[in-house]
Structure 1
Amino acid sequence: MRHTPHYLLLDHDEIRRLARENPWMTIVSHTAAGIVASHYAFLLDEAASTGDDIVLIGHVGRPDEKAHELGDHEVLIIVQGAHGYISPSWYAEGDIIPTWNHVTAHLYGTPEILSDDENLQALSDLTDHFEQHVVNPRGLHLDPEYSRRVARGTVGIRVVITRVDARAKLSQSKSPEVVASIIGHLEGEGPYAHAALAREMRRVHDPRDS
């Protein structure tokens, strides 16, 4: 990412929150054949992610594990949080330059390939994580043999993050009055309303409101 020290996100608790709330991630590998990118859901390994540690568990569909050369080298996993257009019409009179606010983390690590049993458990956990919010949840435990056959088409991975480059660009350079205006418009009903981005701005500018 562009070198913007004043927008650095250094709090690992916040980075973990970002990963927890935005599980659909992009995995990028620099392979012998060139750059490869794929999109998959990852879950934060809550038990292992303490202190400065961040550990992600996920899977790829075969043959993406070969395309990415998983386990052979470091990969980049991109976590994209709330983001959106910020109109200069929300600024003070005379300010005409728009911007794009965002919360983004680039996480680096070398994947560990999970065993078949570990992968099946990871897939079960992933399904249960999302199914817990529906009225009649379904899980892999309802048909273990079928689930095991389907799991053979995937490869589970565990990524211990060794490097982090994260940004929270949320109008930190603007006056409190302009920040309030931006949040108000994001929480409104206009074409660029974005309640989730407004919440991220409140976390930075007035944590009491987050």
Structure 2
Amino acid sequence: MTLNLFSQFASPTLLGIPLILIALTAPWLLFPTPCSRWTSNRLVTIQTWFTKTFTKEIFSPINSPGHKWALILTSLMIFLIGTNLLGLLPYTFTPTTQLSLNLGLAIPMWLATVAIGLRNQLTTSLGHFLPEGTPALLIPILIVIETISLFIRPLALGIRLTANLTAGHLLIQLISTASLTMLFTSPLVSSLAFLTLLLLTILEIAVAMIQAYVFVLLLSLYLQENT
């Protein structure tokens, strides 16, 4: 039972080809390229409105040098939302439930923000390790704590996204299995479980969008500290 339950998080293969490649490509197929015509369809209009609103909200508190990251973070947001939502469909695979993929996104982005801070404002970046007015006895301990907290940031980004999506998928799997099992033995309980499943699915749709937003928001905060 345990193996079958967690097998949904294993990367599927077909004829030796990992299908995770298709899952990573699929989100981009859902977002059409804006055309140069005066009028566009509703999907492109909603997509443009979302992109402008998100970019304005994320980059308004960031200094002008950090605005160069607008395309990268907006693309990452669209990719994460598309991947998370597609993973809720039946017979699909969610790549963002894989810790390796999430860390592969988090570590390079976090490392780039740190490198920008060390290159452009070395004194300010190093000053984060030792706040002004720290007692002399606490200086070594505080430097160690701040260093550990700095290196924990990419791990927290990847683990947060993985844990939230994995927990939601497990709950959906458990409740749907219970609803199907009790369909003939206890129809009332099965109906209540199915109603709970519907509510949980709505919650997971919100979680999929919120976790993508939180992932990019934290990256923007790290960028704000280093620009």
Q: TM-score, normalised by structure 2?
A: 0.22
Between Structure 1 and Structure 2, the one with more helix by share is 2
Between Structure 1 and Structure 2, the one with more strand by share is 1
